[in-house]
Structure 1
């Protein structure tokens, strides 16, 4: 989902049914006492042919979960395992969400409508299967800002307030409830592969690999890669390329996901599932988003390492299908690919043309030094120095010779950049919680989309189609 969404016809395609017998199980949605439409993604509903739905029809499908025409007759809760803070947990799966529908967009890509807060499933454990309205609002803010900054992310598609009071230990309760739908390029996680390996279901594991190669196509491995014709090896190369770009996109965005467990890593390289996320208030590699991340495992500066570790777990899961050597060769590409993606994305956000590995690496180093010395975050830095402007000291030296990209001067002439720090998140939520005032949220979405238009499409990553 990297370009501006384009209108398309509704094209249902329930490809997931090819593997549903071992990947998922049918479930029923919860019955809610109320349905009030709070957010409908008017940019992306047209991209999958649903832009002409009335609000009542929208609520019927995305609040009451009546099936879309010729789509899944019942929702499917996905089964998976996962390393959660590097402790293996076989007792997880879709506990408050499910796959509701699949369709093609105008480019032919297979997209999922997945839910959050839609009720309990066999994998809910002690949870109530619900989502707070604040959690849904936070996901809107996260996905809109990430999309603007060129991160390959799921889209918040719909939020419907559901009229229940929820009790949570980590926020004031009771609090309002919501059912959310996200539009994603798939929901196959590293944990989906881990589960099949743990259960020694090798035939199903091979079938899942084939499904992913068909549903989410990508380039073949390099010519000299060992085992480059083996499906499991091909998939691992593609996922390595995608995740290297994802890691770089987080760093250039100044974003901290907070919970980079293997069940939260999508094999498409698409970021999703936003809980305790944060944007950096200033450049600080040790900054964490989750209060429960006591060791800083998923701190800002450790995110590439965390994603690389998760990639290793995928390689282990594919071991029943391929020898170690070609799998190791695939994941060893992560470091160089991450470095290339960092330089590509950094220059793009700064608004300058790349000059080559040595110059680009020196520029990134000088930028990090400037942010540390000035105690500012990436949002202020990239805005202040767009196109190489306003630089001094080592940064000016590093920028010498860089040519600016074409820019939308109307946005870059703003005094301050659009940002998404925690204080603004809380302010937007307070307006809703105290006064049912949704205008600050709507205004923020408009500002973030203006930022996205000014930046334009991010540079291409080879692992994405």
Structure 2
């Protein structure tokens, strides 16, 4: 959903029901001791016709989960499997969330409102089905920052504090609880197809392919619908991987159940932004082998998409699927150059990969922070040439001199002394203010600063 928000009329939908009973289980939301509104996304609520809700109505729908009129009458915990750190797990599904509603935006696109921390489901296993308030705050920061940097991401729609004290092993406990709602272009994951294939449910696989093509991509299925869908997923996920790199973002848990078939990034747990271009930088303390490190994200996503191809084999021979998978590396390289030049605000060059390579080499050699580099070189010329007189920059300086400005340059942000960044120290400081003093001002100020940066970029890049 890397688009500019456009107002829409409330248009409920129930499209997910065409997939039949095998896709989800009806569930009930937890009853919380309190429902305190902490965040409502008034930038995106109008796009789905919900901007006019008052706070009490908002809490009723997104804290108590009263159904939205005309949409799903009951929440649905979606069924899926997935590879988690390359190990197949058939015992997962929506364990602390559900699909709450479907509706359409101002451009007619089908969107989901899904939850996190809304209570236990048949797939909770030993979990409590809850989300910490800190996790909700981190989700706001991740989605806002990624949106501003042009990444196709879900949007944090609502955060309600629940009044519960949660016990966690990886943060000081007891800690405050929250229920989150995200706005997303589908929650159909690679793992959704994996479950159908694992159960040899060919009719469901066929329905999933048709649903994804017709309702999510707006396409008419051709002679080979499975290969057609895989091709779209390859294109979108190659661009997603490139967008992570240009943003300096590390998702942390790129399991196949965390990759949806629209190529939209979602579900943020141990994420981090790397200050420097460090290939081995990891976000999750439990990623001890660096499987999902900064520089391995394209490999990880490509591997996940290959699992989608395997799941589609009951519907089609292997060769058309292999041909689509083999497009990924070239598409990734093209998207990386395209997005890199977009963030620099210069015209697309014929040899964008060489420019990217020269920039990365110089950033690494000079230990220049990623966000600083993009702010200083916006428009193709350094704001202070003396800072970049190191010979490490010679190749990049020569190549970018041949390009012309193409991005928005008159926004005041480009004159700021420092870039808007989102590194772990600031994340922790924002949470500490909330946790210690119930001070939400640093969070609100940061969201405003991030959105200002997004305005300066002038909208997200289209697929190359």
Shorter-chain-normalised TM-score: which range? Answer: over 0.9
Measure, in 1, the Cα distance between the counterparts of 2:374 and 2:364: 14
Gaps of 5+ in 1: 222-227
Is the 8 Å Cα contact of residues 308 and 334 (structure 1) preserved in structure 2? yes
**Which runs of structure 2 are paired with 1:127-138 in the superposition (5 Å)?**
127-138=127-138
Post-superposition shift, 1:384? Answer: 1.1
Asked whether 1:415 is paired with 2:417, we answer: yes
**Matched residue SS, 2:277:** coil
**Matched residue SS, 1:432:** helix
Q: Deviations over 1:102-133 (max 9, x none)?
A: 00001010000000000000000000000000
**Matched residue SS, 1:88:** strand
Match of 1:241 in 2: 235
**Matched residue SS, 1:416:** coil
Post-superposition shift, 1:144? Answer: 0.1
Measure, in 2, the Cα distance between the counterparts of 1:408 and 1:361: 27
**Matched residue SS, 2:39:** strand
Is the 8 Å Cα contact of residues 254 and 377 (structure 1) preserved in structure 2? no
Match of 1:380 in 2: 372
Post-superposition shift, 1:295? Answer: 0.4
Match of 2:104 in 1: 104
Of 330, 339, 344, the match for 2:338? 344
Q: TM-score, normalised by structure 1?
A: 0.96
Gaps of 5+ in 2: 383-387
**Matched residue SS, 1:411:** helix
**Which runs of structure 2 are paired with 1:424-463 in the superposition (5 Å)?**
424-461=426-463
Measure, in 2, the Cα distance between the counterparts of 1:140 and 1:187: 18
Match of 1:206 in 2: 206
Match of 1:11 in 2: 11
Measure, in 1, the Cα distance between the counterparts of 2:104 and 2:224: 27
Is the 8 Å Cα contact of residues 220 and 234 (structure 1) preserved in structure 2? no
- Runs of 4+ in structure 1 deviating by more than 3 angstroms, as ranges, are 218-221
Is the 8 Å Cα contact of residues 219 and 238 (structure 1) preserved in structure 2? no
Post-superposition shift, 1:251? Answer: 0.6
Match of 2:279 in 1: 285
Post-superposition shift, 1:398? Answer: 2.0
Post-superposition shift, 1:219? Answer: 6.5
Moved more, 207-216 or 128-137: 207-216
**Which runs of structure 2 are paired with 1:83-162 in the superposition (5 Å)?**
83-162=83-162
Post-superposition shift, 1:235? Answer: 0.4
Q: Deviations over 1:399-418 (max 9, x none)?
A: 12110124134110000000
Measure, in 1, the Cα distance between the counterparts of 2:200 and 2:419: 51
Post-superposition shift, 1:220? Answer: 8.4
Moved more, 380-389 or 148-157: 380-389
Q: Deviations over 1:58-104 (max 9, x none)?
A: 00000000001111110000000000000000000000000000000
Is the 8 Å Cα contact of residues 387 and 404 (structure 1) preserved in structure 2? yes
Match of 1:224 in 2: none
Match of 1:329 in 2: 323
